[in-house]
Amino acid sequence: MWLLASGRPPGEDCPMASEINPAELRAAACDLARLGGRTAQELFGKVSMARKADDTPVTQADHAVQEAILAALASRYPLHGIVVEEQVARPERHAPVAVSEYCWVVDPIDGTRNFGRGSNVYSTSVAVLHMGCPLAGAIYDATSGQVFSASRGGGAFREDQRLTVVDRPIDYNTILALSSIRRRLIAPAVRAWMRQSLYRNAGSLCLHLIWVAAGCVDAAYAVECKVWDVAAGALLIQEAGGVITSPTGQPLWPIDLPAYRGQDIPILAGTPRMHAALLESLRNGGSGE
């Protein structure tokens, strides 16, 4: 994880942006996500996986996609900061996070394991945060070639189609998107969900989040995820009428980006009805489920 930063305490809530129209930033995020998607597709099936120091996978495509996006950002928004997953080749092109109200958060390939093994189930996520809160974002879905995007107060979209979460009844047709859990114990409530509901794991949290916004699944839960995994998708869900918080019900934003060092940001997301039910389940340890 790379950022250009040093400390600013987070505020109590998310202020409105003072300079740039969120709709303009959404359009820019869409362009960048598509650029990342095209770059990844050009390298699909042509690269092999390696391991980073933390034992997570990486490919040459991750670096190539990130560099393509950062080069475009440096040209278009040189006064904005960046927080990205991979090493930055030319950090001098970007403003330090601590001196800019705006910071771009980039996940070049979410689903690197899938990508490296020849599966096109992956995504590219780009979001811009204002004072630690998502203002606009876009996710390129390689499975469909579509871009999902949102801006604060401007709604959520699949290409040009407006998205609204579908608040279905909770029953045996309920579908949850559950990300892999390898470094933590699985909560009893989550084990209960797996017994009583249908569940999916795409290997890309960004895809799980756009599924919630688009009504493809009813909720998503993940504990081993980073800010670049959730920033764009969280805004999509909120703008589509859904709810996303920590698994204890605390708000995710604002985040102190200058102090961020890759800590996990666990999330619970869903339709209003589903989020409330799953949150209660987590609070009572799964009893009565």
Q: In this model, does residue 289 exceed pLDDT 50? A: no
User: Mean pLDDT in the chain?
Assistant: 91
Q: In this model, does residue 240 exceed pLDDT 80? A: yes
Q: In this model, does residue 287 exceed pLDDT 60? A: no
User: What is the residue whose two structure tokens read 């190539």?
Assistant: 64
Question: Taking the model in full, what pTM does it have?
Answer: 0.91
Tell me how far apart the alpha carbons of residues 189 and 1 are, in angstroms, rounded to a whole number.
31
Domain count within the chain: 2
DSSP code, position 128: E
The pLDDT score that the predictor gives to residue 124 is 98
Same domain, 10 and 151: yes
Asked whether 230 and 207 are in contact (CB, 8 A), the reply is no
Asked whether 210 and 159 are in contact (CB, 8 A), the reply is no
In a domain, 200, yes or no: yes
Amino acid present at 262: G
Same domain, 187 and 145: no
Q: What percent of the chain has pLDDT over 90?
A: 80
Same domain, 90 and 222: no
Q: Taking phi first (over 0 means left), then psi (-120 to 50 degrees means alpha), and beta for anything else, what does residue 215 get? A: left
Q: In this model, does residue 11 exceed pLDDT 80? A: no
- Based on the number of CB atoms within 10 Å of its own CB, is 24 exposed (0-12), middle (13-18) or buried (19 or more)? exposed
The pLDDT score that the predictor gives to residue 285 is 79
Same domain, 153 and 248: no
The pLDDT score that the predictor gives to residue 12 is 41
Same domain, 16 and 156: yes
Cβ-based neighbour number of residue 284 at 10 Å: 12
Same domain, 154 and 26: yes
Q: Which structure tokens are listed for 121?
A: 């189930």
CATH number at residue 272: 3.40.190.80
The pLDDT score that the predictor gives to residue 53 is 81
